[in-house]
């Protein structure tokens, strides 16, 4: 019996009207047929309707043990146990991505705040952060409100990455830690701005699937190309990142792994 997962036009969730994933058997319409909505987290069966998401508590103890045993047969590389390692379906793809921790979740998980809140690339603090013109009067960051708004749009509304990876990229001043490539935006005034040029990626030194955490000591700013090369096993990327990993493990091993992985 083969089930196939796909999308079709006019297949929308009855709750939120978002397009749903269909799960249909290949050979027979006699078997159950399902739809899955990742927006409102609804699973429904055609001919039955929405299925309850809280049925597990009603199972017998014996059945719960059987289910747990089945789950344990999933290969380890598909079981993500690190803090903040929830998976979500990416828009318009069939792949899943991890959800980054919020700053509140980070502080709760590790008992410390994540630093690197602000970053200032200016070599001369007497110049505007956006247009590089001299500041006048009491102004300390921007020469005008317009420059302040433009800077805010670039570094917040259009920065291109979530808060936690943004803070890590800020820590590394938006340079690739392997090649030194500049991964920040340069605006029309030729000023370097702390926002992603869409080549920024954050690498876990200890993989999430191996129990790696989202602590900042386990995270590394790299370019998209370096990240790809590392996972393909290209020598320069593997060598450089593994050297950094060894150094970090000597100092921060307890934080780079989750509690479960350390036990």
- Name the band, by pLDDT with cuts 50, 70 and 90, for residue 95: low
**Beta strands per DSSP E along 54-133:** 87-89, 96-98
What 3-state DSSP class applies to 215? coil
Q: How far is CA 133 from the centre of its chain?
A: 36
Residue 11's alpha-carbon distances to 16, 36, 251, in angstroms, are 12, 10, 52
HSE-CB for 67 with a 13 A CA cutoff: 10
Q: Is the distance from CB of 199 to CB of 183 less than 8 angstroms?
A: yes
Report pLDDT digits (tens) over 168-205: 999 999 999 999 999 999 999 999 999 988 899 999 99
Count the Cβ atoms, other than its own, within 10 Å of residue 80: 17
Q: Is the distance from CB of 23 to CB of 46 less than 8 angstroms?
A: no
Overall size of the chain counted in residues: 263
What 3-state DSSP class applies to 125? coil
At residue 94, the pLDDT reads 52
| E strand or H helix that includes residue 74 | none
Q: Is the distance from CB of 212 to CB of 246 less than 8 angstroms?
A: no
| E strand or H helix that includes residue 145 | helix 145-152
d(CA 181, CA 90): 28
Share of the chain above pLDDT 70, in %: 87
Strand 192-196 relative to strand 49-50, pairing: unpaired
Average pLDDT, the chain: 85
Residue 251's alpha-carbon distances to 116, 244, 256, in angstroms, are 20, 11, 10
d(CA 203, CA 173): 15
d(CA 48, CA 45): 5
| E strand or H helix that includes residue 44 | strand 42-45
- Name the band, by pLDDT with cuts 50, 70 and 90, for residue 223: very high
Count the Cβ atoms, other than its own, within 10 Å of residue 164: 20
pTM over 0.85: no
- Name the band, by pLDDT with cuts 50, 70 and 90, for residue 72: confident
CA geometry: angle 145, 151, 155, nearest 5 deg? 145
């Amino acid at each position: 019996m083969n089930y196939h997962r796909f999308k079709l036009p006019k297949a929308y969730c009855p709750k939120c009207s978002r397009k749903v994933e269909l799960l249909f058997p290949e050979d027979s319409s006699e078997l159950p047929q399902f739809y899955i909505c990742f927006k409102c987290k609804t699973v429904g069966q055609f001919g039955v309707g929405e299925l309850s998401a809280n049925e597990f508590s009603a199972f017998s103890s014996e059945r719960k043990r059987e289910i747990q045993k089945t789950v344990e047969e999933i290969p380890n590389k598909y079981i993500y146990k690190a803090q903040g390692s929830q998976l979500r379906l990416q828009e318009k793809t069939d792949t899943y991505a991890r959800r980054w921790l919020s700053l509140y979740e980070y502080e709760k998980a590790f008992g410390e705040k994540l630093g690197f809140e602000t970053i200032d690339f200016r070599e001369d603090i007497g110049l505007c952060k956006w247009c590089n013109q001299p500041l006048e009067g009491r102004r300390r960051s921007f020469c005008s409100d317009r420059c302040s708004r433009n800077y805010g749009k670039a570094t917040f509304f259009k920065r291109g990455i979530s808060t936690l990876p943004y803070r890590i990229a800020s820590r590394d001043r938006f340079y690739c830690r392997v090649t030194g490539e500049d991964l920040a935006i340069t605006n029309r005034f030729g000023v370097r701005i702390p926002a992603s040029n869409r080549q920024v990626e954050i690498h876990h030194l200890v993989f999430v699937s191996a129990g790696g955490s989202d602590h900042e000591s386990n995270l590394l700013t790299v370019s998209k190309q370096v990240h790809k090369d590392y996972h393909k096993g290209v020598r320069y990327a593997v060598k450089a990142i593994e050297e950094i990993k060894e150094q970090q493990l000597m100092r921060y091993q307890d934080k780079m792994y989750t509690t479960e992985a350390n036990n």
